Homo-oligomer: A and B are copies of this chain.
């Protein structure tokens, strides 16, 4: 979806008014103005202050009404209780965008919450783009705009950053300067009353100065809009996000496996995966990856070479390489041949290439050049410890020259790691200012290499194929309506049969029998062995009340099973209305039991879950998730990314299952959940799959309490 139409005016204004500009040093309205002037803004600045004539050398405007019409942008640095009035006055002069730095809104609850709602209403009415409230402001580095109250300005670069936490912004600005990490935009989104992460994603995706989008997120305002915008942004450039708040997902009591397993964070995890977002797991990692993407090209493949002057760290790098699923590549014979000319006989010519502790700058640089030229090498890690023989700054300069000499179409990602403190700090600075990230330790270097390769793999993934299945929506709807009329929010197998038919879901032959005689006859007709299960709209956990008997081999056993099941359940659940028993054909030979579930996430909508039955999903937590609508490749990947996948592929001479049939069932589950927003949770459990096909042997549906 398109972002707010005034976003361009907000981040690229021709003139800026600072409402609440102050002459008193230390006040927010002073710091913001000072930052804006210091950043070198070329546009017109209007400090608005009713009491003084000039602030920081600029003539003030006494009141908002005196500002020119169609003002591009205003910053509010006034107490929250005056914001609404100011916003109304700004609307009168047709302001395009407003940054509300003031706190005291939704985050304080009560009246603040109400105030924010008024701001939203007003902004919508007048089409004003509002950033914040309760934010730090933003910085557009190349345009010389800094309307934040943070101390200091980050370096210029190609990372477009946004954050839901203002405090984090302040820390990061300060931290990033030491690390030579540079930004194009630095945006604090605050309470996201109007402008949210989805707008920012689209804005930064379209921004030519931004090479990589990086964000800190606690929540998403609009799940489906976020998915669309994130997917579009990812298609243009790498998007790396840290999502905090996974521990708040809570353990809401849920009535299905899917419900219990798919916490709130599972929806974020799926949303990120499906929209191509790379998820950072730690704060430092977020910026390490950001820098790697900002500075380095995407590799052609997974092959890594390590050049080092120290054996130990070389081994650590090789361990990390394996850990991250990259390949310590073999070098070409020509490369090894050349290395033998450059290096002493007791050096290590294989990867990691150890040039030894006594290596001179020439030996190091020649080796790096040689290894870098090897086509087998997709990414290079240069790992140096300072020794008496290594004037680190000279080496850094010579390495930069080697890296820069590579023709543009032959560039490879290069990650340096200089281990040490004062002996290497300046050398690291030389490398990172020239555009080559330099780490303290081997592991983060390898982690960055892995992230770049992951991005490459995602870019190459097949385009999504959307599928629609034939189904009888009216029939399905009548099943659901009937259940609701009967006051039931959970549909057991017995009631959900109609849904299975409406969606043409393959099921094992299943018939309802009301007497033991019927049970014998129907079982005989279906053909032994059969399964018998209690049929009651009030009993969802059939096994718990002894409501299932497997492997019934003859009429006698069928009679026995019917009587046992019905009497046992009636005793244990005297409240339940029992319609009889369902008789079902046994699982076809070679069947494996899987679970296909769905749970509606309040933000992202239906989250589909897949896993092997038995203990795999519940106990081993071996399952995969995606948000609906699933594409063909989503269904394909979900089945293959569980650990127990080899069981489906066939072990010990077993035949592989019919994957297409199982993919269909996943896709139909996705469609069912999209067709009926009333469905809160649904589960096909078990689904029986063998080499021939897949059968949904049982189904449970949980409906929302009210029509949506």
Contacts and interface: CB of A to CB of B under 8 A. Distances in A.
Contact of A175 (B164, B312, B420, B643): B420
Contacts of A284: 440-441, 443-444
B151 A388 contact: yes
Contact of A328 (B247, B318, B346, B419): B247
B322 A247 contact: yes
A677 interface: no
A319 B171 contact: no
A442 B171 CA distance: 12
A423 B174 contact: yes
A178 B245 contact: no
Interface stretch (A42-50, A633-641, A646-654): A646-654
Contacts of A168: 310, 312-313, 385, 419
A415 to B, nearest CB: 15
Nearest to A31: B388
Interface stretch (A292-300, A370-378, A615-623): A615-623
A568 to B, nearest CB: 14
A167 B245 contact: no
A73 interface: no
Interface in A231-288: 242, 244-248, 282-284
A166 interface: yes
B421 A175 contact: yes
A177 interface: yes
Given A620-B620, A652-B543, A174 B386 contact: yes
Contact of A171 (B172, B346, B385): B385
A379 interface: no
A618 B442 CA distance: 31
Given A165-B311, A315-B245, A421 B178 contact: yes
Contact of A346 (B109, B177, B323, B622): B109
Nearest to A619: B646
Given A312-B168, A622-B620, A421 B174 contact: yes
A644 B103 CA distance: 50
A178 B318 contact: no
A282 B443 contact: yes
Given A171-B420, A175-B421, A165 B312 contact: yes
A570 interface: no
Interface in A353-397: 357, 385-388
Contacts of A422: 152, 174, 177-178
Given A174-B423, A422-B178, A619 B247 contact: no
A385 B423 CA distance: 29
Contacts of A149: 388
A170 interface: yes
A357 to B, nearest CB: 6
Contacts of A216: 312
Interface string A154-183: 000000000111111011101111110000
Interface string A310-344: 11110110111111000010000000000000000
Contacts of A444: 284
Contact of A647 (B109, B420, B424, B615): B615
Interface string A475-514: 0000000000000000000000000000000000000000
Contact of A651 (B164, B246, B619): B619
A108 interface: yes
B109 A311 contact: no
A107 interface: yes
A108 B346 contact: yes
A172 B313 CA distance: 11
A457 to B, nearest CB: 21
A388 B27 CA distance: 9
Contacts of A420: 170-171, 174-175
Interface string A421-456: 111100000000000000011111000000000000
A386 B169 CA distance: 10
A117 interface: no
B282 A318 contact: no
A309 interface: yes
Interface string A127-171: 000000000000000000000010110000000000111111011
B441 A283 contact: yes
Interface in A211-231: 216, 218
Q: Which of A172, A247, A318, A346 has the most CB of B within 10 A?
A: A247
Contact of A313 (B167, B321, B652): B167
A26 interface: yes
A309 B388 contact: no
Given A386-B170, A644-B620, A248 B419 contact: no
A282 B170 CA distance: 28
Nearest to A282: B443
A422 B173 CA distance: 10
A417 to B, nearest CB: 9
Interface in A600-647: 615, 619-620, 622, 643-644, 646-647
Nearest to A612: B615
A423 B167 contact: no
B312 A164 contact: yes
A248 B386 CA distance: 26
Top 8 nearest A-B pairs by Cβ distance? Answer: A165-B312, A167-B310, A171-B419, A174-B420, A247-B322, A108-B346, A167-B385, A178-B421
7 contacts: A167-B419, A170-B386, A171-B386, A247-B318, A283-B442, A615-B644, A615-B651
Interface of A: 26, 28, 31, 103, 107-109, 112, 149, 151-152, 163-168, 170-172, 174-179, 216, 218, 242, 244-248, 282-284, 309-313, 315-316, 318-323, 328, 346, 357, 385-388, 419-424, 440-444, 543, 615, 619-620, 622, 643-644, 646-647, 651-652
